[in-house]
Amino acid sequence: MSTTAFKGRLVALTKAGLSESDTRAKLIDPAIHARGWTEDLIRREETAGAIEIIDGRPFKQAQGRIDYTLRIKPAPDDQPVAVALIEAKPESKPPGHGLEQAKLYAASKRLNVQFVFASNGHQFVEYDRFTGVTHAPRKLSAFPTPQDLQARYEQGMGFALTDPAAAPLLQRYHNGEGNRRYYQDAAIRAVLEKVARCEREGRPRRALLSLATGSGKTFIAVNLLKRIADAGQLKRALFVCDRDELRIQGTGALQNVFGADAAAVSGGDPQKNARILVATYQTLDVATDDAEANFLLANYPEDCFSHIVIDECHRSAWGKWSQVLTRNPNAVQVGLTATPRTFTVAEKTAEALADQKINADNLSYFGEPVYEYDISQGIEDGYLAACEVVRQAVFLDREHECEEVTGIDREDLAGKSLLDALTGEPVDLTEAREHYGAETLDALLLMPERVTAMCADLFAHLVETGGPEQKTIVFCTRDHHADRVANEMNNLYAAWCRAHACKRAEPYAFKCTASVGGAQYIADLKAASRSHFIATTVDLLSTGVDVPPVRNIVFFKYVRSPISFYQMVGRGTRLDPATDKLMFRIYDYTNSTRLFGEYFATKYRKPRTKRPDDGSEPPEPALEPEPIYLVEGFQVRLVHNGTAILTVYHDGRTMPVPVEEYKERLAERLVTEALTLDAFRRRWIVPPQRESLLAHLPDAGRSPIIVQAVEHMAEYDLYDVLAELGYGLAPRTRAERAEAFTYKHAAWLAGLPAKTAATMRALALQFAHDGTKGLESPQIFRVPAVVRAGGLEALSALGDPADVLLDTKARMFAA
């Protein structure tokens, strides 16, 4: 190789040394800042981190991050509106290397932004979702400005952000952005964008959201209504749900934000003076096709409501309950459903066809979902519990196990005890049908021996996967089937306790159906730690019940309805920090998981096993003890699911608080003290004002330090910890902020005398070491690096040293 070629190769290798993070900090950040993308217009969206099941145990992966979400706002105090993302790659990669990945992030199922960029720090490639056009690589110096993207966004959307119809988009989150999830923000924007388009075009203002159970539809509904109210556009709203449990949950969430303006409707109280009404289909007398809708008609005239949110709009309801919508044609109408827009079902049962009709009715009325977030995406992001499917085929004899899917013939029933599933009366073999399909077997026949075999198999699985005392819901065919299953499980548990000399939990298994007032047991299933472990039910627990501790969903009944199936599975999807729950299992004895179809299977990843390199069986994993440490006098416990629990003292009691809830409280108090990022920045740089602000935060100002420790943000100044929580700012480490100081103020520094500029850069480096407090130290002008650069004498050109330091802090945190 020639000397020239060698030198060229050496230069190429040197240039390839910039990592992705260095590419962002040294190349992309300065370039887009020069184009007007200030800190308050950039956010790094994160996910909780996927949960992977290995050897039957869940393991949490690192948080996922999207490099840059670019946001626009017409006025300084507006809520920024996300419009674009940039996927950064090392400078050694082609500029378009990350474009396909970024396009997946940008789509309506993820971030819901219209402009997609990929960059290697020198050039960028753009994909425009409005036009479908991918542009050729261009220099970063030509990157679109915020004004450019705002104009293109408004043209593509068909409305201007300054239009009254768009006003809700610009209303801030009332508790700050610290705890909202990326998909919740995307869903809220999607609804408000469609409503604004429809209003501009004179079309009915309707929108449909499809989000998996446990993903926070109530949070979305509350924040939608709040932002509409803050825009001065909400007169009276109606929130309709399917169960009392959901009405209680919805009323509590709305009252946390609206106070007495939100009220629950009951049969004796239509709450006509409230601004936001929360009602069930049953209360409105529209729950069934033969209902009279008397309560609705008597109390709420046509066009009574300006906004309507329909929860659980997947129910079979395009009969009487549709009057809630048709009597308010001028209202903004938002439908929420946990059922996917499409699902693949090979069979054409009456139930499956009815479900398809409901979906078709939803799509016909509301249009395509403006945003979708399915169970598999929630699991991938780490916001929903990981799912392990255990398919079992239990008949009675080993050789018949495979026949569970297709059914059984009369000869297979010889010698077995048979009961009529409706009456419970014995059935003679000669009276049995020639063949029972899988879908009709449990509906017509009850076989006690089969119940015994299935319960024994389930109980054995529970023992193997952590013990019999696991919160479990077993879906049974009929009421007396639920009785028998509960009895069998109790008998198995009693025998297990005798064999292991354990004290029995009472009750252990219990029937939870409408016939026994099963709703009264839901609180015990949810909260009791030493009782109510196995709930046997038919339909009562299929929807509208929030039971985070449930670790097992069991199908002893054959399910025909895809909608019902997704609702049943949804009882297990919620994470539960209180019980360290990261995963749940589906025990399928009736091939009900066929209803997941391709929609789920395309993303479902089979649990894997870690094996040693020599191919031997892996050792049994040992549980590590939960680390406990102190931060500012507060006990912090990290549980296995990675959620930190802070033990705080309230009213003389010790209360464990999940870190997410703790951060939410902190963010809420912060934005109460300083409504905007600019207001926060102004108070932060003045020590007495900063101390006053901190003193009003939870735990006498120690809460930011606690969050900084728990979130592993030791390299960040408390300014960035709080700015991310309250205002959605993309946090910078102290070193990154000091480096940004030089390019943000390059023109100003260039106009200073050489020694003065060098001294300012030396002061910035002190921030990299010690943060805000470092710039306020009385000893800062004695630091050798500052003295060598020019020290106090060099700064005399800028005025009083105290004023210089104040100006330095202002520039350090400038957008």
Q: Where are the domains of the chain?
A: 3-34+66-157, 163-373, 385-601, 628-732, 735-812
Do 765 and 738 meet the contact criterion of CB atoms below 8 Å apart?
Answer: yes
Look at residue 443 in the predicted model and tell me its pLDDT: 66
Secondary structure of residue 432 in the 3-state scheme: coil
Do 207 and 194 meet the contact criterion of CB atoms below 8 Å apart?
Answer: yes
CA 431 – CA 447 distance, rounded (Å): 15
CATH class of domain segment(s) 3-34+66-157:
alpha beta
Going from the C-alpha of 31 to that of each of 37, 139, 780, the distances in angstroms are 9, 10, 31
> Please, what are the averages of pLDDT over each run of 10 residues along the chain (815 residues)?
47 59 91 95 85 76 80 94 94 91 79 95 96 96 98 97 97 88 96 96 94 90 97 96 85 94 92 94 85 91 96 63 90 88 62 75 86 88 89 54 55 72 75 69 71 91 94 90 93 96 92 80 82 89 77 91 86 85 90 70 42 46 48 55 48 62 87 93 94 90 86 92 92 94 93 92 92 89 91 87 89 91
Q: Which neighbouring-strand residues pair with 408?
A: 436
Residue 184 in tokens: 């919740």
Look at residue 593 in the predicted model and tell me its pLDDT: 86
Main-chain dihedrals φ then ψ at residue 657, nearest 5 degrees: -125, 125
Look at residue 632 in the predicted model and tell me its pLDDT: 60
Do 763 and 772 meet the contact criterion of CB atoms below 8 Å apart?
Answer: no
Look at residue 365 in the predicted model and tell me its pLDDT: 87
What is the secondary structure of 737-779 as a DSSP string? HHHHHHHHTHHHHHTS-HHHHHHHHHHHHHHHHHHHHHHT-TT
Do 240 and 284 meet the contact criterion of CB atoms below 8 Å apart?
Answer: yes
The CB density around residue 660, as the number of other CB atoms within 10 Å, is: 13
509 CB-side CA count, 13 A: 22
CATH T-level topology, domain 163-373? Rossmann fold (3.40.50)
Q: Is 748 left (phi over 0), alpha (psi -120 to 50) or beta?
A: alpha
CA 62 – CA 52 distance, rounded (Å): 11
pTM: 0.85
In CATH, which superfamily holds the domain spanning 385-601? Answer: P-loop containing nucleotide triphosphate hydrolases (3.40.50.300)
The CB density around residue 746, as the number of other CB atoms within 10 Å, is: 12
Q: Do domains 3-34+66-157 and 385-601 have the same CATH topology?
A: no
Look at residue 523 in the predicted model and tell me its pLDDT: 82
Going from the C-alpha of 268 to that of each of 264, 284, 782, the distances in angstroms are 11, 11, 76
